[in-house]
Amino acid sequence: MTEHNTSDVCVTGVILAGGQARRMGGVDKGLVKLNGVAMCKIVINKLRPQVFEVVVNANRNLEIYGEFGVRVIQDETPGYLGPLAGLASAMVAAKTPWVITVPCDGPFLNRDYVARMLQMTDEDVEIVVARDSDRMQPTYILAKTKLSDSLNEFLQSGERKIDKWFVKHRYAEADFADSPECFLNINTEQDREKAQIRMNQDE
């Protein structure tokens, strides 16, 4: 695989905050706070040094997200169609040949996340998917921006599952078995409380 540095392969970081968060009672998860800081802001701070630009995909509270100093993009297709819809909009908005995704409720993101994903690319690979010791993490993907037409066609066909889309392309997996905490996310109030404790321990 090719060795890369994020300074020579331009990547747009995409924080996915466009969902309805049904398991958290419909609250906007990106704005849920840990230690008084919105989770989306925590993710922005970790992702920003790793990429050319950070954009946030959101479908509500757009002005609040904009106050975090990033571009905010909405799903081009209405109806809360899931993370693929956010990725599709980001591909159109991106000014770089690659985009990389992170969910807004993933505050323990690795600070070398982007570099490790880029290490798995070569001239043939179009998509890289993160994997922990047990399974793939399909909301943590690196994809070529030029795949936007393919993704939009997939969405228009009625499909929504990320893994059904990326297997249509040449993809590789990035191994994060040594740092599964990278993929800890917050789906319930209990998860938020546990994350708060973990964050305080890490400081």
CB atoms closer than 10 angstroms to residue 157: 9
Place of tokens 């708060």: 196
Summarised one tens digit per residue, pLDDT across range 59-115 is 899 999 999 999 999 987 665 567 888 899 999 999 999 999 999 999 999 999 999
Tally of helices (H runs) and strands (E runs) in the chain: 7, 9
The domain segmentation of the chain, as residue ranges, is 11-202
What CATH number does the domain located at 11-202 have?
A: 3.90.550.10
pLDDT in tens, 104-143: 999 999 999 999 999 999 889 999 999 998 899 999 999 9
Alpha carbon distance 203, 200 (integer Å)? 5
Query: Is 0.85 topped by the overall pTM?
Result: yes
